[in-house]
Amino acid sequence: MSGATKWIGGHGTTIGGVIVDAGKFPWNNGRFPGFTEPSPDYHGLVYLDQFGYNSFITKARLEIMRNVGACQNPFGEFLLIQGLEALSLGKLKIL
C-alpha cells in the first residue's frame, strides 16, 4: 500500500492511496490464515486455493473494499488525475 496524495497528486488537495501487488508473494507459508483458511464472509472460500498468487488483490477487492468502503469521490479522482498526467514529466526531471 502506498499513499497517492504526494506522488500522484502532488498538491495535497485530496487524500488517496493505491495497492500494488505483483502477485508473487508466498501466502502459503503458514503465517497468513486469512488466505489459507476458509473465509466465513464468502461461504468458506479459501483465497489461496481459488486464486493462487492473486489472492491478496482479490481479497482486497472483495472484503476490504466492502468493509472499509474504499471509494474515492469523483472530484477527488479528478484532482489526482491532474497530478497523474504530469507525473512522467516530473520523473524525467529527476532522471
**Structure confidence at residue 43 (pLDDT):** 92
Are 48 and 28 contacting, i.e. CB atoms less than 8 angstroms apart?
yes
pLDDT in tens, 2-26: 777 777 777 778 888 888 888 888 8
Give the pLDDT band (50/70/90) at residue 36: very high
Are 55 and 27 contacting, i.e. CB atoms less than 8 angstroms apart?
yes
Domains of the chain, CATH where assigned: 2-94 (3.40.640.10)
pLDDT in tens, 82-94: 878 777 776 656 5
* Angle subtended at Cα 89 by Cα 85 and Cα 91, rounded to the nearest 5 degrees: 110
**Structure confidence at residue 92 (pLDDT):** 57
Task: Look up residue 7 and give its DSSP letter.
Answer: I
* Angle subtended at Cα 62 by Cα 56 and Cα 64, rounded to the nearest 5 degrees: 75
